[in-house]
Copies of this chain bind each other. A is one copy, B any other.
Amino acid sequence: MSDSPRSFHLSQKATRTNEQPISYLMAQAVGNPNLISLAAGLVDYDSLPVPESAELLGAMLRDPAMGKIALQYGTTHGLADLRRTLLAHLENLDGVSAAKLHATADDIIICTGSQQMLFVLTDVLIDPGDIVITEWPSYFVYTGLLESAGAVVRCVDMDEHGLIPAKLDELLAQIADEGHLHRVKMVYTCDYHQNPTGLTLSEDRRPKVLDIVRKWSADPTASGRIMILEDAAYRELTFEGAAPHSIRYYDKGGEHVALLQTFSKPFSPGFKTGYALLPRDLVEPVLAQKGNHDFGSNNLSQHLLLKAMQTGAYDKHVKVLRQVYASKRDAMLAALKENMTGVEGAHWTHPTGGLYVYLTLPEHVHTGRHSPLFQRCLKEGVIYVPGGYCYGPDATRTVPQNTMRLSFGVSTAEQIREGIARLARAVNSIDTIADPIQTESRLS
């Protein structure tokens, strides 16, 4: 393109959109087979439902009539039988009838992974300058999407029981004081085994979060109902104790909560299929937008997943995955205890499900991709996601530099043990060799 006279004039949105930070991390793994990735958000390889999928797909495609339906276009809304089955599935998970939830199968939309619905809901609600409230920290792919959309991100602190309701109320009061309540459109929470912290919003906080959002939605200075985007991707991967009810369970009228789930974590990401139970008055605008995206997600995958649910293969598989990830979490927690207990000030979360542990190091040990620690880890042969990526661009806050997300998703128990040992060696070398001032100066 050396002789190209001019560049394309990109849209404002494109200039706000950055490559996902994880892309850089993933590139590190290429050509380095010895590297242990505690960064990747991939799922466990060995437990992927290969034989189950082979059997179900085989049965489907040996039936010519059914095969033809699965290989034709589907609908924007998604396969009706699958939506009905998913409604029953959500009834089971929350132990309540759809009627009591004021929910029907038509309030469910099938999407291309739950990620697509994060995009579409944001497109449907957010103009540049609108405010979205997220947890602090939050899912970095979504905070990147919010930046791309031009949203103003404001954040709420968490403790070991998840988002702190009183802090949410305070924040909304503060935004109202600032005269910006009319710009608040959405509260985003990854409320089961959160990405990145692994923390879960406790049962007692769930109705409180809803009540606060209800209260501020009714404020005369609000511009309308505030939506709660409940990203429950990891909900079914609860392997210790019972998963709490969804926030949607408490929102009996279906007025505020968009509940988002996926087949990627509890079954297989290869089918790239998610689904959302939406407030009824958002179904039409979301469908209109999704029509422009793809006028319907992968139809073959939807038919396969319907069979997986109907035959019980899905439920059976989720149970297997819970055991798989429980034992990998145990391996990670044991390795952290063994290797990190000596690091003064280090502490980490103890998730009851999901794929992630969040590690906090002493304040002077920075974890960013240009930090001595990250570089040292590359040499040792282990990578993680720097926690700094996980904090939405809230101009009123300072991003902690000493945290990291550790995934027990894709690595084996043995790799996890070895990876944490490598990480500990790297941390100990930094902790002893670097004083804070040196560390800072080497960051540039």
Interface size classification for chain A: 35 or more
Report chain B residues within 8 Å CB of A115. Answer: 292-295
Q: Does A100 contact B (CB under 8 A)?
A: no
A261-286, CB < 8 A from B: 264, 268-272, 279-282, 284-285
Between-chain CB contacts (< 8 Å), 19 pairs: A4-B253, A4-B255, A8-B125, A8-B225, A8-B281, A11-B124, A14-B125, A20-B295, A43-B73, A48-B67, A50-B64, A112-B112, A119-B292, A141-B291, A141-B292, A272-B296, A272-B297, A272-B298, A298-B301
B1 touches A254 (CB 8 A): yes
Contact of A57 among B14, B49, B61, B68 (CB under 8 A): B61
Q: Which residue of B lies closest to A13 (CB)?
A: B123
A386-436, CB < 8 A from B: none
Provide the bound-state CA to CA distance between A102 and B2, in Å.
Answer: 12
Provide the bound-state CA to CA distance between A144 and B287, in Å.
Answer: 13
Q: Does A320 contact B (CB under 8 A)?
A: no
Q: Top 5 nearest A-B pairs by Cβ distance?
A: A71-B270, A50-B67, A54-B61, A9-B224, A9-B223
Q: Which residue of B lies closest to A147 (CB)?
A: B292
B285 touches A272 (CB 8 A): no
A116 touches B53 (CB 8 A): no
Count chain B CB atoms within 10 A of each CB in A23, A126, A300 and give the residue with the most: A300
Against B, the Cβ 8 Å flags (1 = close, 0 = not) of A32-61 are 000000000111011011110110011001
Against B, the Cβ 8 Å flags (1 = close, 0 = not) of A142-174 are 001100100000000000000000000000000
Q: Does A227 contact B (CB under 8 A)?
A: yes
A11 touches B127 (CB 8 A): yes
Count chain B CB atoms within 10 A of each CB in A218, A269, A280 and give the residue with the most: A269
Provide the bound-state CA to CA distance between A288 and B19, in Å.
Answer: 5
- Distance in angstroms from A46 CB to nearest chain B CB is 8
Contact of A270 among B11, B42, B144, B299 (CB under 8 A): B299
B298 touches A145 (CB 8 A): no
Contact of A298 among B18, B271, B295 (CB under 8 A): B271
Q: Which residue of B lies closest to A41 (CB)?
A: B73
Q: A8-B225, A71-B270 are in contact. List 7 more A-B contacts (CB 8 A).
A: A5-B218, A7-B224, A11-B125, A20-B295, A46-B68, A271-B298, A272-B299
A18 touches B253 (CB 8 A): no
Report chain B residues within 8 Å CB of A270. Answer: 70-74, 298-300
Against B, the Cβ 8 Å flags (1 = close, 0 = not) of A197-212 are 0000000000000000
Q: Does A17 contact B (CB under 8 A)?
A: yes
A281 touches B1 (CB 8 A): yes
Q: Does A217 contact B (CB under 8 A)?
A: yes
Contact of A253 among B1, B75, B148 (CB under 8 A): B1
Contact of A12 among B19, B113, B127, B268 (CB under 8 A): B127
Contact of A48 among B26, B72, B185, B218 (CB under 8 A): B72
Q: Which residue of B lies closest to A4 (CB)?
A: B255
Q: Does A76 contact B (CB under 8 A)?
A: yes
Count chain B CB atoms within 10 A of each CB in A8, A145, A253, A268 and give the residue with the most: A8
- Distance in angstroms from A123 CB to nearest chain B CB is 6
Report chain B residues within 8 Å CB of A222. Answer: 6
